[in-house]
Structure 1
């Protein structure tokens, strides 16, 4: 690394991403009672493509070059949008408790670090980062502990949550390894088109629950498109493009604590001492993972 100094915006990107991504809980809380999960997500992807399309027409960015890049982007889109979101939402819809789901998918940083260590990546996982991952996992357990066992655990909903975990882990690694730097607007459009192409047929084939155009659903959909997809997904793409996979994945540890804060503010859910301690441990652990290595 050179001695260049990053702009305040670049330094703030991880925190902005965590803040936006944590609102996914709010979206699910408002939207899921009025729509089946895959149907909601299919409309989210379609409207997001439309929004990105308007942005692209106005700004005319470059498109990814080469069929291989389109293929890798499509695969990442299916995994990180369709597989991850579809798995989590469907698991919760089938009765899996939110805390259990958060704990399962929260294992992503550990799986990513294990893969990086096994594959001998140039961004090797240091002892300090392993300690940070352990602290982050301990903090995550404290945050969701009071929600564990809330909801029905079945083979089907656990399998869906594990599928979501595998999808976001593999998607992150594939993007980091195979996707060359390209414009976030066009790259996201390719990813979302692929996610829609997989999710829409599954929604039509598997779901019979109608979509009710309730104000809560419309608000949830608007934020899903404008905040979570255009904002959060774009930031995640940029973070993966710029950073080591382990460091980026460790940010996911911060999502459940931030979600707990939002639930306290918006829904008056209890903010216990255990949750606060978990938040501190998680933040400290992630800090150990993402801190730049000492210069030699």
Structure 2
């Protein structure tokens, strides 16, 4: 039955809801890391997660008749995207949390991605970033600095309370990984189906994680507890299949800088989840910084989500 003039179709409503759903799902990834890391080293876990995800994407792509890349070069581009988006980004995040970085702070550092994406989107993709978006991106950066500043603890002999510079460096590495992956995906993989692309991307990221784990001498022992199995299932099905597929769709539908601005919304949601589940607490300055970051995303997104044009 056709929709009435002025009313939203089911497809339009789904597209408008995608950003909010993506933010919620993506935020749970930082929480999922807290469940699995006590039972497995980060890179070994990610290799296991990636190979299971790639295996699940195969029947999903086949049953839904997903289109496979028609050009051999697109397979290579998908593989590079997978290493950047999944290997570099998730490897950095998990290493940071393993190093003691609270989930909320890890999410906050990851939210620097919009600023980096906006800087690079102009020369690399030809996208114009408006003054309003620059103001929003700047406010988001200020919000990140406010939260991180509250964790400064030079009097204890360490730079930050509860974690060291290595954990922060891992989180920063993750930011550069996902920024490069987003831009690469937008430029070279525009025609890639998220389902078939997921097979290639996760399959490419798996040996990279295994190689780095072996080179660094990581203990690859896994303790199979109910909490670990739940965390693994959640991160594979909800994050690697659900949230990553949404990210690919959002990148295809919108400008790279606009999509990246959604990551400013992840830290407040992650902080709330971490507080409820792990009693991770943030003070007044950090909460104010989260509020500044949220205001930043509203400006940087230019009012997105909005109803798509016909």
Task: Give the conservation status (yes or no) of the 8 Å contact 1:263–1:269.
Answer: yes
How many corresponding residue pairs?
Answer: 289
RMSD: 2.4
State the Cα distance separating 1:36 from its structure 2 match: 0.2
Q: Match of 1:291, SS?
A: coil
Task: Give the conservation status (yes or no) of the 8 Å contact 1:56–1:186.
Answer: yes
Task: Give the conservation status (yes or no) of the 8 Å contact 2:103–2:274.
Answer: no
Task: Give the conservation status (yes or no) of the 8 Å contact 2:84–2:178.
Answer: yes
Alpha-carbon distance between aligned partners in 1 of 2:95 and 2:281, rounded to the nearest angstrom:
26
Note the residue ranges of structure 2 that are not aligned, 5 or more in a row.
1-5, 153-159, 305-310
Q: Match of 1:23, SS?
A: helix
Residue 127 of structure 1 pairs with residue 126 of structure 2: no
Which residue is 1:12 aligned to? 17
Alpha-carbon distance between aligned partners in 2 of 1:196 and 1:213, rounded to the nearest angstrom:
20
TM-score (norm 1): 0.88
Which residue is 1:231 aligned to? 242
TM-score (norm 2): 0.85
Alpha-carbon distance between aligned partners in 1 of 2:19 and 2:199, rounded to the nearest angstrom:
22
| Bigger Cα displacement from structure 2, 221-230 vs 105-114 | 105-114
Task: Give the conservation status (yes or no) of the 8 Å contact 2:125–2:187.
Answer: no
Select the residue among 110, 118, 141 that pairs with 1:137. Answer: 141
Q: Match of 1:130, SS?
A: helix
Select the residue among 82, 87, 90 that pairs with 1:85. Answer: 90
Alpha-carbon distance between aligned partners in 1 of 2:141 and 2:94, rounded to the nearest angstrom:
22
In the superposition, relative to structure 1, how do residues 143 and 7 fare at CA in structure 2: closer, same or farther (>3 Å)? Answer: farther
Instruction: Give a deviation string over 1:175-221, Cα, whole Å, max 9, x none.
Output: 11111223211011111011112112322443125210011111100
State the Cα distance separating 1:253 from its structure 2 match: 1.2
Task: Give the conservation status (yes or no) of the 8 Å contact 2:102–2:280.
Answer: no
Residue 181 of structure 1 pairs with residue 191 of structure 2: yes
State the Cα distance separating 1:259 from its structure 2 match: 0.4
Residue 210 of structure 1 pairs with residue 221 of structure 2: yes
Select the residue among 161, 167, 170 that pairs with 1:160. Answer: 170
In the superposition, relative to structure 1, how do residues 219 and 163 fare at CA in structure 2: closer, same or farther (>3 Å)? Answer: same
State the Cα distance separating 1:108 from its structure 2 match: 1.3
Residue 250 of structure 1 pairs with residue 261 of structure 2: yes
State the Cα distance separating 1:172 from its structure 2 match: 0.7
Alpha-carbon distance between aligned partners in 2 of 1:67 and 1:4, rounded to the nearest angstrom:
42
Q: Match of 1:40, SS?
A: helix
State the Cα distance separating 1:98 from its structure 2 match: 4.7
Task: Give the conservation status (yes or no) of the 8 Å contact 1:143–1:278.
Answer: yes
| Bigger Cα displacement from structure 2, 137-146 vs 70-79 | 137-146
Instruction: Give a deviation string over 1:201-258, Cα, whole Å, max 9, x none.
Output: 3224431252100111111000001111111111111111111111111111111111
In the superposition, relative to structure 1, how do residues 233 and 221 fare at CA in structure 2: closer, same or farther (>3 Å)? Answer: same
Alpha-carbon distance between aligned partners in 2 of 1:259 and 1:219, rounded to the nearest angstrom:
18
Task: Give the conservation status (yes or no) of the 8 Å contact 2:138–2:296.
Answer: yes
Which residue is 2:113 aligned to? 108
Alpha-carbon distance between aligned partners in 1 of 2:151 and 2:242, rounded to the nearest angstrom:
29
Alpha-carbon distance between aligned partners in 2 of 1:123 and 1:238, rounded to the nearest angstrom:
18
Select the residue among 54, 57, 60 that pairs with 2:59. Answer: 54
| Bigger Cα displacement from structure 2, 71-80 vs 193-202 | 193-202
Alpha-carbon distance between aligned partners in 1 of 2:191 and 2:101, rounded to the nearest angstrom:
37
Which residue is 1:260 aligned to? 271
Alpha-carbon distance between aligned partners in 2 of 1:146 and 1:11, rounded to the nearest angstrom:
35
Select the residue among 165, 169, 172 that pairs with 2:179. Answer: 169
